[in-house]
Amino acid sequence: MKFPHVSLILTLTALSTGCVVQSAMTLVPGAAQVKITTSLADIDGCPAVGYVPAAHINIPDQRVAQNEAVGLNANTVFFTGYGGVAYRRK
């Protein structure tokens, strides 16, 4: 084989890709129904039930915030730009 380093790079890339796929966040039951919003109209008159830390919402994967909301008995998360406030909409 003329380019053994290419084979090694391809192997390492394939292995690291598999690790990323395996570590994908799984939604807890009910989390798929949690709405992430920036509209005040979506939360008008709804009671706030908790806070979702910025670390849980300011990432590309919103499933973390949706899972957190279920733990707070919320079904909507209002994104503030620095985290979110969890609400229970009727």
Q: What are phi and psi of 52, to 5 degrees?
A: -105, 115
In this prediction, residue 5 carries a pLDDT of 47
For residues 77 and 84, the answer to whether their CB atoms sit within 8 Å is yes
Tokens standing for residue 60: 């590309």
pLDDT of 56 over the 90 cut: no
Say whether 84 sits in a helix, a strand or coil. Answer: strand
Structure token digits, residue 56: 């849980």
- pLDDT tens digit string along 1-34? 454 444 444 444 544 444 444 346 799 999 999 9
Global pTM exceeds 0.85: no
**Per-domain residue ranges of the chain:** 25-87
Lowest mean pLDDT among 48-52, 55-59, 68-72: 55-59
Averaged pLDDT, 59-77: 89
Q: What is the Cα–Cα distance from 81 to 90, expressed in whole angstroms?
A: 24
Distance (Å) of CA 52 to CA 11, 20, 37, 46: 39, 25, 13, 16
pLDDT (0 to 100) of residue 60: 62
